[in-house]
Amino acid sequence: MSSTTHSSNIQASYIQLRNISQSFALNDTKVTLFEQLNLTIRQGQSYAIMGPSGAGKSSLLMLMSGLELPSSGQGVYVKDGVKGKQESSLEALRPDIGFIFQQFHLLPELTALNNVALPLKLRGDKEAISKAKVMLTKVGLQDRIHHNPNELSGGEQQRVAIARALVFEPRFIFADEPTGNLDEKSAGDIANILLNCCKDSNAALIMVTHSQVLANKAEHVFNLTHDGLTQLKGYNTKIGHLEAAC
């Protein structure tokens, strides 16, 4: 495992959902996804959300990331920085989040290196390329940096996507079925890389998954159904030893 590059003064940032409900109208009928949920996501820890299709896992992910608003309830972002703790709405979370998708969503015309450098370039980082190289090395793709996405396997593409999501050092990573498109072996490798890299970057990892294997690797596991959110695995549960890059 590689060493962390983060200072300890940002460890305590967290997202808190208070009595959150989400519903929408479909053909004049109100469809309720979930009601009165309470959840706290802490930076540096890993979370897996499981549950049947249509239970609202992706919607919960969107709410947590502040990209969608709940029908009722409140979401807050408590940021612990050099000025101490500051509470704000989830909209303020935007600069501190990154996403990983089931379909990878790399830009096909860019090489692996340029895909990873993209978020840094957007932030005007003059060392974007060198940082992207370091990140790609961390996910074990140092030999494939100049390859285009269509020249990479699914597992390799997802590794590029992980590198891209982590390279700008977000505090929270949201992953939607990150291993859903991969075979068992690749899925295992990706899961380890993902969890290790997030740990190493001191980022919270929030995954939506159907994979029990992946979920078991998270520190906290929740099951989301129409009846509510049930915690299957909590703070006292030790996670298994992870061996992979990062």
Asked if 122 touches another protein (CB under 8 A), the answer is: yes
Beta bridge partners of 17: 39, 75
Query: Which residue among 96, 156, 189, 219 contacts another protein (CB under 8 A)?
Result: 96
In the numeric block, the tokens 């989400």 are attached to 22
- List binders of another protein among 172-191 (CB under 8 A): 176
**Does residue 195 sit in helix, strand or coil?**
helix
Do the beta carbons of residue 131 and residue 239 sit within 8 Å? no
Do the beta carbons of residue 145 and residue 176 sit within 8 Å? no
Q: How many residues bind another protein (CB under 8 A)?
A: 32
- Where does this chain touch another protein (CB under 8 A) — which range of 16-24, 32-40, 44-52, 116-124? 116-124
Query: Which residue among 33, 97, 132, 215 contacts another protein (CB under 8 A)?
Result: 97
Site string for another protein, 143-162 (x = CB under 8 A): -------x------------
DSSP assignment of 160-182: HHHHHHHTT--SEEEEESTTTTS
Query: Which residue among 43, 65, 196, 201 contacts another protein (CB under 8 A)?
Result: 65
Distance of closest approach, residue 222 Cβ to another protein, in angstroms: 18
Distances (CA, A) of 233 to 46, 192, 218, 221, 230: 11, 18, 9, 5, 9
Which residues are at the interface with another protein (CB under 8 A)?
58, 61-62, 65, 67-68, 94-99, 101-103, 105, 107-110, 114, 118-119, 121-122, 124, 126, 150, 165, 168, 170, 176
